[in-house]
């Protein structure tokens, strides 16, 4: 499995974007976590096979109904991982 760190910019806090992200990850079988950041961005760590991660990125790039995604920065880790936890968490 591959790992990517995503930094989402736009109107992504206080609009249920983290919940949207978790529901999207759960539907696709992506593991990881999502957390609001003090600078107004949302930080996502995601682990899955690369095609699933790419599908996940495509879906969250459109945003939740109330959000607006302006930019998605992607930081890929080229290592291969075995997942310890098969869940996607919202970190509060």
CATH number of the domain within which 64 lies? 3.30.70.100
14 phi-psi bin (left φ>0, alpha ψ -120 to 50, beta other): left
Q: Which of 11, 18, 54, 92 is catalytic?
A: 18
| Nearest-angstrom CA–CA distance, 7 and 5 | 7
Q: Is residue 77 part of a domain?
A: yes
Q: Indicate if 36 belongs to the active site.
A: yes
Q: Is residue 90 part of a domain?
A: no
How many C-beta atoms lie closer than 10 Å to residue 32's C-beta?
23
User: What's the pTM value of the predicted model, to 2 decimals?
Assistant: 0.93
Least confident of 4-18, 35-49, 73-87: 73-87
pLDDT, position 25: 98
pLDDT higher than 80, residue 77? yes
Q: Is residue 88 part of a domain?
A: no
29: containing domain: 2-82
pLDDT in tens, 15-70: 999 999 999 999 999 999 999 999 999 999 999 999 999 999 999 999 999 999 99
pLDDT higher than 70, residue 84? no
Number of folded domains in the chain?
A: 1
Q: Do the Cβ atoms of 67 and 20 come closer than 8 Å?
A: yes
Strands (E), the chain: 2-11, 31-36, 42-48, 68-77, 88-91
Q: Indicate if 68 belongs to the active site.
A: no
Q: Which of 11, 16, 23, 36 is catalytic?
A: 36
Q: Is residue 70 part of a domain?
A: yes
Q: Is residue 9 part of a domain?
A: yes
Do the strands 68-77 and 88-91 form a parallel or antiparallel pair, or are they unpaired? unpaired
Q: Is residue 89 part of a domain?
A: no
């Amino acid at each position: 499995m591959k790992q990517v760190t995503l930094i989402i910019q736009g109107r992504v806090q206080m609009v249920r974007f983290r919940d949207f992200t978790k529901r999207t990850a759960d539907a696709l079988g992506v593991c990881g976590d999502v957390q609001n950041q003090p600078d107004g961005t949302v930080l996502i760590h995601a682990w899955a096979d690369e095609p699933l991660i790419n599908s996940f990125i495509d879906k969250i790039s459109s945003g939740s109904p109330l959000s607006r995604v302006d930019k998605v920065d992607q930081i890929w880790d080229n290592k291969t991982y075995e997942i310890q936890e098969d869940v996607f968490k919202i970190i509060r």
